[in-house]
Amino acid sequence: MRPFLARLVALFRRRRLDADLSDEIAAHLELAIADHVARGKSPEEARRLAMRAFGGVLQTEEAYRDRQGFPLLESMWQDVRYMARTVRRSPAVPAIAVLTLALGIGATTSIYSVVETLLIRPLPFPDADRLVAVFATSPTAPRDTTSFLDFSDWQRHTRTLAHIAAYRSDRFNITGGGTPEPVRGLRTTHELFTVLGVSPAIGRTFDREEQHAATPVALIGHGLWARRYGSDPQILGTTILVNEVSHLVIGVLPPGFEFPPYVPTDLIVPVPERPSRSTGYIRGIARLSPGTGLAVAQQELDAIARRLEDAFPSSNKGRGVSLVALQELAAEQVRVALLVLLAAAFLVLLIGCANVGNLVLARGIARQRELAVRRALGAGRRRLVRQLLTESIALALVAAALGSVLAFWGSAFLSRSLAQRFPLPDIAFSWTLLLVASALALVSGLLSGLPPALMVWRSGLNDALKQDGRSQSAGIRERRLGNLLIVGETALTVVLLIGAGLLVKSFVRLQQVDVGVNTRQALTANLVLSKRYQDHERRELFVRQLLESVAEVPGLQDVAVHTDPPFLGGGSRETFTVEGLDDPQPDHGHAAGFDVVSGRFFHAMGMPITRGRDFEAQDTATSPAVAIVNETMARRMWPGADPIGKRMRLYYDKDRQHWLSIVGVVRDVRYRGRLMDPIPQVFVPSQQNPYKALPYAQAPALALVVRTGSKPADMIAAVQAAVWTADKDQPVWNLQPMDQVLWEAAAAPRIYMALLGTFAAIALVIATAGIYGLSACAVVRRRQELGIRLALGATPRQIIALVLRHGMLLNLAGAVAGLAGSLALAKVISGFLFGITATDAPTFLAVLLLFAAVAFVATYLPARRAAAIDPGLAFRND
């Protein structure tokens, strides 16, 4: 420690200490000479003897200084300063190198941070790796809900699952005191807290008996507690209105509690127990017993499910159980996309590394002479290699710093854009990320600094000194390496460009798809009606009041409600029996989307009736039941015939008498968003709603459609107020322009396209810089040769052709390799494409042309300079 401090102090007194040493050595020599003279030597002889006894003055000073300071650090500092000087002289090449590396590092680390959060970091529950989701399976649905009786049997018979709970995600209206608030939450059995290993922040959970308490109990989320109740601990023991029903608050959930993972949870109430095996409405969540694997548990539950199938064939035929690790489930929507993006980002990093390697290599070749001269002057081989490596590490560190900043922005951007579409945790800038960035930078710095360093290491002193512009023998291997790097770089770039090209084209295709409604000037909102409206007449009354109230908003053209809001991915389906048609499969009927709509619905949506008529005032609760179908339905059920007047009925209609007469055909709408073709669709007027009594306590959902004249966004507040005029306790969800719903539905492909497109653009810029750099270097290297050619009568055109041929040959090789790579990777990307195949020839061609054009320009510019070489100057290269 003490010597270290002494060295540290010495750093700041360098000049003074140096002078002292010289002084001391001079004194030593003087004393020695005086001694020798005193013993009778001549002054010259005395001086010679003194010097010989002392040894080398310079070596002494050198050894002294090394001991005085930090020799390794100092020589590195020297190298860095030397480098800074050269960079200041010609900043282009190092700037490109740093920038490309920084972009690569930034992209890779920001994607990596998302990957880490989603795929690697465990969910925020104790021993989260033992949590499994328990789904029922049926021949048509691999992940179905289950009935309460089936769930109870699983619970009773399982040994491999330590605890299992049933839950159902739901939306609730919280009313009383202030504006009504829609919240997301869970209905669950009491075991949920045991399974997840979660205890409330304050208060308690409920037990088996309280699942049926006369006054239902509730736990509220930490966020809701703070937001609505001012974090008042006195909330415990009071009652709140949930869906109009008094609930006793018994606890507050811990902050940040989210279940299912990343879905905000503001309320937990007991799940109702329905004594049926055919009503699936809950999902299971379980904790594996200690020492039990997922596969063993799956086997056990398979056996349990088979026993249930045998015991209750009417309800359980074909029903099984499927266990999925919760961690996997939480990330599965984005897993493939993330891995593809990570791979793409890694490609960008690779391209960046190849480019830096190329630039450092080219500079190394250009500096052969300088390095050789320095070796001849006594610089150690080790010292020169260290210098080269120091340079590339310094480059890499600057790139890492820049890359970290980019990664910081990138991960914030990524988490924001992904969160639009997927339930996601917050992705924050982490130290891991910074470490990863630095590690990547160092590795790439070392890798790209290695070839020129090796070159110095290998080359003998003589070789290097002998080599001048005319002898090209040394460095051939390195140039071959440079060519290889360029080919690899262009190949990877072409792969990225083709991937991005496919995604862009696919996205354009997607945006060109007509969804079938005019979404420009419309607002939509979702309402979850309270229990008071469970009764059919009351609901109709409320709907009428709601429509009247909203219709009074100035500037509004049409308003309607319906039950199946479009573009949200879900949607209700029904099974129909069509008169005159056999059911395609016994027990299955004809499936179609089913929407119960109010009077002006087709006007409000902007869906034109193509045949027959709209619903009219004459269609009342007592008049003959009518329906309107879409074109796809008409085409499928009655091909070539006029569907008007045909009849159909709900397959599960008990009395089998409620026939619906088709009175009109409406244009196809892509109800499930642009990604999916239109499905058959049936519309019935709300005054003839076949669902007179709603099943169970499920709150009926309604969607509001408002056609606006002006900008829809400007009318949001007025529409909201109008809804509250009709019922001041009615929460409104997702009140937003319909365009936005559609835009958000396409968020996933848009994000993939934008990211891959960005990566491809970065890659193209990097590769262009690399191609340009290599071409320019080749021209500098071949100056004399080209000068001789010019002097011997070659035309500038021939010189350009010569240089171009070499460069473009490499680019061509790279492009071909890239095409082959893209074909090999077609399968990976095809899952993200819409409307085109992964081997779309026009895209491949367009990318090739774009790349060829860019590569040509990047090669041509240096070639033109080559043609302008003055032969006279070229000979005097040195």
CB 377 → another protein: shortest distance, Å? 23
CB 62 → another protein: shortest distance, Å? 9
Contacting another protein (CB under 8 A), which of 15, 39, 55, 88? 55
Contacting another protein (CB under 8 A), which of 11, 14, 19, 20? 20
Residue 57 near another protein by CB under 8 A: yes
Q: What is the DSSP string of 646-661?
A: -EEEETT-TTS---EE
CB 519 within 8 A of CB 742: yes
CB 46 → another protein: shortest distance, Å? 14
| Phi, psi of 727, deg, nearest 5 | -155, 110
Which CB, 15 or 88, lies closer to another protein? 15
Report the alpha-carbon distance of residue 486 to residue 9 in Å, rounded.
49
CB 50 → another protein: shortest distance, Å? 9
Which CB, 34 or 435, lies closer to another protein? 34
Contacting another protein (CB under 8 A), which of 16, 19, 24, 555? 24
- From 54-62, 445-453, 672-680, 773-781, give the range in contact with another protein by CB under 8 A: 54-62
Beta partners for residue 595, in sequence order: 683
Contacting another protein (CB under 8 A), which of 11, 31, 857, 873? 31
Please state whether the peptide bond connecting residue 712 to the residue before it is cis, i.e. omega within 30 degrees of 0: no
Which CB, 26 or 853, lies closer to another protein? 26
Contacting another protein (CB under 8 A), which of 16, 42, 45, 54? 54
Which CB, 72 or 713, lies closer to another protein? 72
Residue 27 near another protein by CB under 8 A: yes
Residues 500, 505, 511, 516, CA torsion sign: negative
Alpha helices in 746-840 (DSSP H): 747-781, 783-791, 796-824, 826-830
Token couple for 666: 């409406």
Residue 19 near another protein by CB under 8 A: no
CA dihedral 651, 654, 656, 662 (to 10 degrees): -50
Contacting another protein (CB under 8 A), which of 18, 37, 47, 60? 60
Each residue 64-83 as x (binds another protein by CB under 8 A) or -, in order, gives x-xxx---------------
Residue 14 near another protein by CB under 8 A: no
Q: What is the chain's percent helix, strand, coil content, to nearest 5?
A: 55, 15, 30
Q: Which three-class secondary structure state does DSSP give residue 164? A: strand
CB 736 within 8 A of CB 567: no
Which CB, 55 or 291, lies closer to another protein? 55
- Count CB atoms within 10 A of the CB of residue 531: 14
Count of chain residues binding another protein (CB under 8 A): 28
Token couple for 705: 């459609």
Residue 63 near another protein by CB under 8 A: yes
At 712, which amino acid appears? P
Residue 40 near another protein by CB under 8 A: no
Contacting another protein (CB under 8 A), which of 12, 59, 827, 841? 59
Q: Which three-class secondary structure state does DSSP give residue 134? A: strand
Q: What is the CA angle 748-500-771, rounded to 5?
A: 150
CB 35 → another protein: shortest distance, Å? 8
Residue 21 near another protein by CB under 8 A: yes
CB 9 → another protein: shortest distance, Å? 10
CB 383 → another protein: shortest distance, Å? 20
At 687, which amino acid appears? Q
- From 24-32, 316-324, 372-380, 434-442, give the range in contact with another protein by CB under 8 A: 24-32
Each residue 446-485 as x (binds another protein by CB under 8 A) or -, in order, gives ----------------------------------------
Residue 32 near another protein by CB under 8 A: yes
Contacting another protein (CB under 8 A), which of 11, 13, 19, 30? 30
- From 61-69, 205-213, 431-439, 519-527, give the range in contact with another protein by CB under 8 A: 61-69
For tokens 């029922």, what's the residue? 136
Largest pairwise CA distance in the chain: 142
3-class SS string, 269-320? EECCCCCCCCCCCEEEEEEECCCCCHHHHHHHHHHHHHHHHHHCHHHHCCCE
DSSP state of 118: I
Contacting another protein (CB under 8 A), which of 13, 14, 22, 34? 34
Residue from 72, 29, 62, 93 nearest 770 by CA: 93
Report the alpha-carbon distance of residue 825 to residue 832 in Å, rounded.
12
At 737, which amino acid appears? P
Report the alpha-carbon distance of residue 496 to residue 148 in Å, rounded.
50
- From 26-34, 145-153, 488-496, 744-752, give the range in contact with another protein by CB under 8 A: 26-34
CB 51 → another protein: shortest distance, Å? 10
Helix orientation angle between 796-824 and 476-512, rounded to the nearest 10 degrees: 60
Which CB, 23 or 232, lies closer to another protein? 23
Report the alpha-carbon distance of residue 724 to residue 720 in Å, rounded.
7
- From 59-67, 532-540, 594-602, 603-611, give the range in contact with another protein by CB under 8 A: 59-67
Residue 667 near another protein by CB under 8 A: no
CB 45 within 8 A of CB 32: no
DSSP state of 119: I
Residue 378 near another protein by CB under 8 A: no
Residue 23 near another protein by CB under 8 A: yes
CB 13 → another protein: shortest distance, Å? 13
- From 29-37, 229-237, 356-364, 759-767, give the range in contact with another protein by CB under 8 A: 29-37
Which CB, 3 or 275, lies closer to another protein? 3
| 178-197 residues near another protein, rule: CB under 8 A | none
Contacting another protein (CB under 8 A), which of 53, 72, 508, 853? 53
Report the alpha-carbon distance of residue 196 to residue 654 in Å, rounded.
42
CB 55 → another protein: shortest distance, Å? 3
Which CB, 35 or 210, lies closer to another protein? 35
CB 48 → another protein: shortest distance, Å? 14
Report the alpha-carbon distance of residue 373 to residue 393 in Å, rounded.
24
Residue from 765, 763, 776, 726 nearest 497 by CA: 763
Residues that bind another protein (CB under 8 A): 2-3, 6-7, 20-21, 23-25, 27-28, 30-32, 34-35, 53-57, 59-60, 63-64, 66-68
